[in-house]
Structure 1
Amino acid sequence: MTAVPPWDAFTAAEAEVRAMVADPRWQGLSVPDRAHVLAVRILVTPAGDRWLFGAHARWHLHDPADGRWHLAPPPRGTRARQVGHPAGVLPDSVVPPGHDFHAEPGSTQSFVGPDVPAHLTEQVRQLVRGAGLKSELDYPLTAFGEIFASDVPSTVAAVWGTVMWCAYAPAFDGNERLITVFGEYLRRSLPGDEWVRWLPAPPLLNLVTLVAERLRAGQPRAALRLAAIMADTAQILLLDTRFRPRALALLTMVEPILRRPGLDDLHEDDEAVRRAWLERCPARLCRALHVETDSEAHFSHALYDLVEALSFVPDPRRAAAGFLADLSDSKGALPGRLDHRLRLAYEELRLAGRTGTSAAESTEPEGFPVRTGGVSTAPAPVLEVAPPDRGSAAAVLGAAYATGLAWGRLTGAKVPERGLAGQAALVRRMVHERDDNHTGLT
């Protein structure tokens, strides 16, 4: 007889809200009416925390100090009861409009651990091979100049830019085949070391510039070719859930150009074209575009992913605080963006002088701690996590790196080229097991 999983208040409440939002009548309700039916389904734990399953099909935790609701994964398995809550004090931002429940599920895994599927890599290789045959005179490099040599055609950059923009967390095994495909075109070695390439996430504007510059130069066919390369690359990337949400979003932005050449001709500058691309993306994919449209929300969702990826540890928030401790926060802006439970864990580390750590200059080229007289000079990670399997480790690493990139996007803080301390420590747990054939992604 199949074992029945134990009843969980959070799982039950989530299922109930999902059913309500999926009901066609939800669209006919006013925002206050939606808030009312959500408010009566708020859960409270013995610790006094109030939880609401709401916008973006995610949980929100009420901060008793200031009344804000923070995106935060719940403590599943914890005893909780349903309580009433004044619907009028629920902000509109936590009330789901409906389309936000249709977001494409993706994976938080990095590309350290589970490899990119071989058939995907081979298709990208063929695209790059064809793109590399184009002339740089017809396709000048107008973006990604820090990555590629000046004589590389922008067709190659269009493939690269699409891969990097679509990646949830562009941290790759140092010898990941998808990255080595571009080796002959690179201007210099990629940031990172032998084990991991900690790559920057390019803005959508870089991709837009490749196309818009050709339009301004009076080369509409070249512009169309670049857009087609981006679409072809995104179509291939749909095969891997670490790329899929943003790949879908990018397809919705560039495919109209292919069906209606000249669609973007009237826009005056690159930023105007970028806005036109973003406006073409349907609302159901809006979370994939937070990286472009809402840096605050993007950071909050990445942090949610990080805490959720750490669900295997007894105290996920304390573990997440350990990764947050690596971030540069000279202005003290981070604590105010955390839910009160996570903020408490982070403040404990700050008071102990264990925040603001970095692995920037603490590792040798092969990625291990520098040792002087047999003693490691690398800063000790705040908390060593031990994921139960490769997939879990890749999910934590990806979410942690995505959080670091999101923080940089929000504040201008730089991510060290050799990664942050907690992430580097996690890599050392995985490094001798890389290069496998695992393709199952969480």
Structure 2
Amino acid sequence: MQWDPFAAIERDVRAMVADPRWADVPPATQLQAMAARLLRTEDGACWMFGAHARWYRTDGSEAAWHLSAPPAAPAIRAAARPPQPGVPIPEGLLPGPADVTAGRGSTQAFVGPDVSREVTERVRGLLTEACRPREDAPLVSGPLRDLFYGDVTAGVAAVWGTIMWCAYAPAFDGNEVLLSMFGEFLRRPLPGDDWVRWLPPMPLEALAALYCEPLGHGAQGAALRLVAVMADTARVLLPDGRFTPRAHALIAMLEPLLARPWLDHAARDAAALRDAWLARCPRGRAAAVLAETSPEDHFRHTLYDLVEALAFAAGDGADPRVVAASLLAADVHEVAPEAAARLYPYLDPELRRTYYLALAEPGHPLRGCWPEDGAPADGLRPPDRASAAALLGAGYATGLAWCGLTGTEPPARGFPASAATVSCLIGQRDDPLPAALPEETGPSSEATETSGEWIHHT
């Protein structure tokens, strides 16, 4: 087997930084240790495995380091060697113990692999509890008000909002049980079609508004119950890797409030409350809230995810970074061509060139990566369902990220590249259906028909 310096350095750095003694090492000494673990590829680029447990690249012509998925070709990786001494490393790129111990979860969308029955049934239990009549139960308020019927309680919206906020990429199978159980509460059809529901990102401020509204009317008990519903929902979602990182982050932000109910009384509106919650997010969960704290870095990280999801393309000799930049160009060209130039500052020089060429030259070979007639280009069909779901999720997350950066409304029927990936999943059977629930414990047939019929109507 060919030796892989990138894999070896990553293992070494992870072990070194996870050592309890690393946190006590002075930054200058940490920089020296990391300098001994740099790699140089034959194109002259230097590579470092650093903050957020991800790779960074500099080409030597500028001082900046750029977040960059490492090369995928085995020959390029195997040829990497230590650089000459003296390559400067920014202290901000030093990895911390939390970076290497917190998992990144899954980039899969909710198309193909279903959410497990255990999770969906526990969510159903929370939803049933949220619907129980209470005289002091507040109704939906804030940004979520228009999504639900007027008599829906805020507890129902808290369960929904938590699911959507915790989802890495909220693209859901049209038959997903986790969605259909909400059908009777939602005022209007969800965006998408019979195959996929392409849902917009859920801002943390929308969850904060649910808590803020009753609190502003002096109903502290009702407000805290909503926070408890959010935390309970996040705990239920933890086993599914597509929710795990953000669910952990939300729990870490909300648990102090449940323990000390007065903690956020100084926050007078939802925006201030969101900021207070984010300030409590531990460093180990910081990557999960980048969409809230740094939209620019969030875009870069989702693009990194997209490159990783395209790793299978390297088997046919394609460079996943080049393919990712070309697919980004395809989406921008179709959805918001006027926003194309606004993404240049957030791309490293190598990706920027590829992205520019794919956009600027209609006849350029890079456009061979673009989907055609709703299907992926030849060579870009993922080899299995798991890979297709990961590519679909990373592509959709990247699309939502650049839309957020540029103020673009996400398309109701998905982005061209991720929508094309759906064609790789349509012909595959979903996860096997579990045995039917006993009649006395299952939902009524009337409720099921109402939800299912509504959720698929467009």
Q: TM-score, normalised by structure 2?
A: 0.85
The alignment status of 1:305 with 2:305, answered yes or no, reads yes
C-alpha RMSD over aligned residues = 2.3
2:48 matched residue in structure 1: 52
- Write the distance in 2 (CA, Å) between the matches of 1:323 and 1:136: 52
Task: Return the letter of the residue paired with 2:388.
Answer: A
For structure 1, the 5+ residue unaligned runs are 356-368, 370-375
- Write the distance in 2 (CA, Å) between the matches of 1:153 and 1:99: 38
Task: Return the letter of the residue paired with 1:298.
Answer: H
Choose 406-415 or 330-339, whichever is displaced more.
330-339
Equivalent positions of 1:320-359 (< 5 A) are 320-325=324-329, 326-327=331-332, 328=336, 330-331=338-339, 332-353=341-362
Task: Return the letter of the residue paired with 2:400.
Answer: L
1:407 matched residue in structure 2: 402
**One of 32, 38, 61 as aligned partner of 1:36:** 32
Task: Return the letter of the residue paired with 2:52.
Answer: H
8 Å Cα contact 1:22-1:98 kept in structure 2: yes
**Deviation at 1:10?**
0.5
Q: TM-score, normalised by structure 1?
A: 0.88
1:361 matched residue in structure 2: none
**Deviation at 1:228?**
1.1
The alignment status of 1:12 with 2:8, answered yes or no, reads yes
1:152 matched residue in structure 2: 152
Task: Say which structure is richer in helix.
Answer: 2
- Find the residue that maps to 1:51 and give its secondary structure: strand
Task: Return the letter of the residue paired with 2:70.
Answer: P
1:363 matched residue in structure 2: none
- Find the residue that maps to 1:265 and give its secondary structure: coil
* CA distances 1:52-108 after superposition (whole Å, capped 9, x unpaired): 111111111114443321111212422211113425x32223222333222233000
Instruction: Mark the CA change 1:137 to 1:271 in structure 2 (over 3 Å): closer, same or farther.
Output: same
**Deviation at 1:137?**
7.1
**Deviation at 1:264?**
2.0
The alignment status of 1:274 with 2:274, answered yes or no, reads yes
* CA distances 1:332-367 after superposition (whole Å, capped 9, x unpaired): 022332233322322221122489xxxxxxxxxxxx
2:412 matched residue in structure 1: 417
Choose 398-407 or 75-84, whichever is displaced more.
75-84
**Deviation at 1:437?**
3.7
Choose 168-177 or 72-81, whichever is displaced more.
72-81
**Deviation at 1:154?**
0.9
**Deviation at 1:23?**
2.7
Choose 124-133 or 62-71, whichever is displaced more.
62-71
- Write the distance in 2 (CA, Å) between the matches of 1:354 and 1:396: 26
Task: Return the letter of the residue paired with 2:347.
Answer: L
- Find the residue that maps to 2:236 and give its secondary structure: helix
8 Å Cα contact 2:374-2:419 kept in structure 1: no
- Write the distance in 2 (CA, Å) between the matches of 1:383 and 1:64: 35
Identity %: 50
- Find the residue that maps to 1:52 and give its secondary structure: strand
Instruction: Mark the CA change 1:23 to 1:438 in structure 2 (over 3 Å): closer, same or farther.
Output: farther
Equivalent positions of 1:180-195 (< 5 A) are 180-195=180-195
2:440 matched residue in structure 1: none
8 Å Cα contact 2:326-2:355 kept in structure 1: yes
Choose 294-303 or 18-27, whichever is displaced more.
18-27
For structure 2, the 5+ residue unaligned runs are 365-370, 435-458
- Find the residue that maps to 1:429 and give its secondary structure: coil
Instruction: Mark the CA change 1:32 to 1:130 in structure 2 (over 3 Å): closer, same or farther.
Output: same
1:115 matched residue in structure 2: 114
Choose 39-48 or 153-162, whichever is displaced more.
39-48
1:94 matched residue in structure 2: 93
2:451 matched residue in structure 1: none
